Amino acid sequence: MTVKIPMGPTYDEMLNPNILDEHLKQKAHVALKDEFDPFNLFNITWRKQNGEINKVVLPKSLTGVEANIVVLLGKDFPSGSHKVGPAYATLIEGCVDGKIIPGHHTMLGPSTGNFGIGVSYICNLMKFDSIVIMPDNMSKERYQRIQQYGAKLDLTPGTESDVILTLERTFELKKNDNYHALAQFELFPNYRFHRHVTGHSAVEAVKGVGNERIACFASAPGSAGTLAAGDHIKTVFPESKVVALEPYECSTLMDGGRGQHRIEGIGDKMCTLIHNILTTDFIALVKDDDAVRGLKIFRDGEKIFQELALSKKQFEYLRDCFGVSGIGNILGAIKMAKYLKLGPHDNVVTVATDGFDRYDSVLEDLEKRYLETEDFVLRRWFKDIFIDIDTNHIKDVRSLKDKNYLFKQKEADWLKFDYEKSYLDAMQNPAFWEKEYQKVFVYNDLIKKRRGQKLDA
Ligand SMILES: Cc1ncc(COP(=O)(O)O)c(C=O)c1O
């Protein structure tokens, strides 16, 4: 059998699919009609069909702050979340490096859901077998999607906060040479995808909004891939503050807290290997049930939208745009806008990783937990959660002392997975991150040159 390098986009093509060759552009367009068409790989981008970045600037009556809260929308990526980007980037880099052999290797995807969905999806398109390793207590929609895309599930006990068990399981499984781990928490294609593709897209998203700069970028790390967009944002707007958001119930980066929480996709009880601690300025906490109740308001608070003089069209558009972590990110963005005392010309950018399509069961659960969710309750929640959000639980981590605390946390989390201390120490130097980023341009060339070629060509 002839083994070929799969066809797929470069980092630059994901940032701007308009630069694709005309025939690929056509095929990608046709592929939108069938999600299993492999040319959907060329639809991995933050852009809509009209070339604009998929974003929403939230109405100020909803956020209660003067600053513009700009949310990048991940729901229209193939497979329904932007996590497909890092999954694809990790797989294609492995292929062009010759470390992943199509037809030979089975992919492992340690995840709490969306990355697993992304791995399962791209492995389907790129014809790899895959196993998603994830906790057994995540929303049921996630398991359904993964199986629908064809991956096998290998479940470890627990929830979001038990992701370390999925890493331990992956560590064991990958001792088998036929398995290759698309290790989102530790491999740099995740960093490269977000610094390059998400970072540039964020900068473009504020064109025409406020002063067209980004005063603050707030994002809750799961793998901390998305946070890497902040590294690019800071090169364009050096005054920009990068904020890592965490669930109040699992405040690992802030103070080593390691509790259970309800925000799927974030708060994984660790400082991930690919988290660039040097560029994180603040850590801020958001209460998990505020994110879930906030989602309920966006889904069922039509009356509240009406009272805020927002149109039915706005309500109907926004109700599909966010999942729980997206609302958590919005709450964090509002909190930071207040804390940083930002004005009407300032922009805070955040990200909605996915949309509502995988959270019905989370709201069903909310209905069971609360006695009443009528309009009068939602109205009170809206005021408490959005309008009156406080600026407590924000930590400035710009000092050397705080950086050292986080470096130690990273060591505690990663030395046990056989990483050398010298490697972790090198991450304390900005040059380390620059070097990793510059590989984007090497892979741009390699991916373009090698796609569709025989492996040994
Ligand atoms: C729903 C959701 N939100 C947020 C994140 C965090 O994104 P990142 O892993 O880039 O930090 C994830 C990651 O899987 C996710 O699934």
pLDDT 10s digits, 335-357: 999 999 999 999 999 999 999 99
Ligand 1 atom 4 nearest Cα: 265
245-266 burial by CB neighbour count: b if 16+ within 10 A, else e?
Answer: bbbbbbbbbbeebeebbbbbbb
Band (163; pLDDT cuts 50, 70, 90): confident
Q: Is the CB of 264 under 6 A from ligand 1?
A: yes
Instruction: For 383-433, write each residue's pLDDT tens digit.
Output: 999 999 999 999 999 999 999 999 999 999 999 999 999 999 999 999 999
Find the mean pLDDT for residues 370-383. 97
- Please give the residue that has the higher pLDDT: either 189 or 456: 189
Band (5; pLDDT cuts 50, 70, 90): confident
Q: Is the CB of 223 under 6 A from ligand 1?
A: yes
CA of 351 to the centre of ligand 1 (A): 10
Ligand 1 atom 14 nearest Cα: 265
Query: How would you classify the pairing of strands 68-73 and 347-352?
Result: parallel
Name the residue of 191, 353, 362 to mutate for ligand 1: max ligand atoms within 8 A of Cβ: 353
pLDDT(2) > 80: no
Find the mean pLDDT for residues 277-294. 98
d(CA 414, CA 409): 9
For 376-441, what is the HEC assignment?
HHHHHHHHHHHHCCCCCCEEECCCHHHHHHHHHHHHHHHHHHCCCHHHHHHCCCHHHHHHHHHHHH
Instruction: For 76-114, write each residue's pLDDT tens digit.
Output: 999 999 999 999 999 999 999 999 998 899 999 999 889
Residue 161: what pLDDT?
A: 73
Instruction: Kindly report the length of the chain.
Output: 457
- Beta-bridge partner residues of 130: 107
Residue 140: what pLDDT?
A: 86
Contacts with 74 (C-beta within 8 Å, 6 or more apart), sequence order: 46, 81, 82, 83, 326, 351, 352, 353, 354, 355
Record the tokens describing residue 223, joined without a space: 């793998």
Name the residue of 73, 77, 82, 114 to mutate for ligand 1: max ligand atoms within 8 A of Cβ: 114
Q: Which pTM value belongs to this model?
A: 0.97
Q: Is the CB of 354 under 6 A from ligand 1?
A: yes
CA of 372 to the centre of ligand 1 (A): 30
Band (436; pLDDT cuts 50, 70, 90): very high
Find the mean pLDDT for residues 226-243. 98
pLDDT(457) > 80: no
Residue 164: what pLDDT?
A: 87
Which ligand 1 atom sits closest to the C-alpha of 272? 11
Instruction: Report the 10 Å Cβ neighbour count for 60.
Output: 14
Name the residue of 196, 261, 269, 325 to mutate for ligand 1: max ligand atoms within 8 A of Cβ: 325
Residue 6: what pLDDT?
A: 85
d(CA 114, CA 223): 11
Ligand 1 atom 7 nearest Cα: 222
Tracing tokens 């002063």 back to the chain, one arrives at: 211
Angle between helices 375-382 and 288-300 (to 10 degrees): 130
Contacts with 149 (C-beta within 8 Å, 6 or more apart), sequence order: 79, 117, 120, 121, 123, 124
Residue 317: what pLDDT?
A: 98
CA of 225 to the centre of ligand 1 (A): 8
Kindly state the percentage of the chain with pLDDT values over 90.
92
- Beta-bridge partner residues of 56: 71
Q: Is the CB of 268 under 6 A from ligand 1?
A: no
- Fold exhibited by the domain 84-183: Rossmann fold (3.40.50)
Tracing tokens 């972590």 back to the chain, one arrives at: 325
Which ligand 1 atom sits closest to the C-alpha of 224? 11
- Residue span(s) of the chain under CATH 3.40.50.1100 come to 55-78+197-396, 84-183
Residue 29: what pLDDT?
A: 97
d(CA 118, CA 82): 8
Residue 1: what pLDDT?
A: 63
Phi, psi at 6, each rounded to 5°: -60, 155
Distances (CA, A) of 315 to 303, 305, 328, 366, 423: 10, 7, 19, 21, 49
Distances (CA, A) of 444 to 8, 15, 26, 195, 456: 11, 11, 21, 14, 20
Mean of the per-residue pLDDT values of the chain: 96
Find the mean pLDDT for residues 299-305. 97
Tracing tokens 């089975």 back to the chain, one arrives at: 106
Q: What is the second-level CATH architecture of the domain 55-78+197-396?
A: 3-Layer(aba) Sandwich (3.40)
DSSP for 43-99 reads: G-SSB-TTS-B-EEE--HHHH-SSSEEEEEE-TTSGGGBTTHHHHHHHHHHHHHTTS
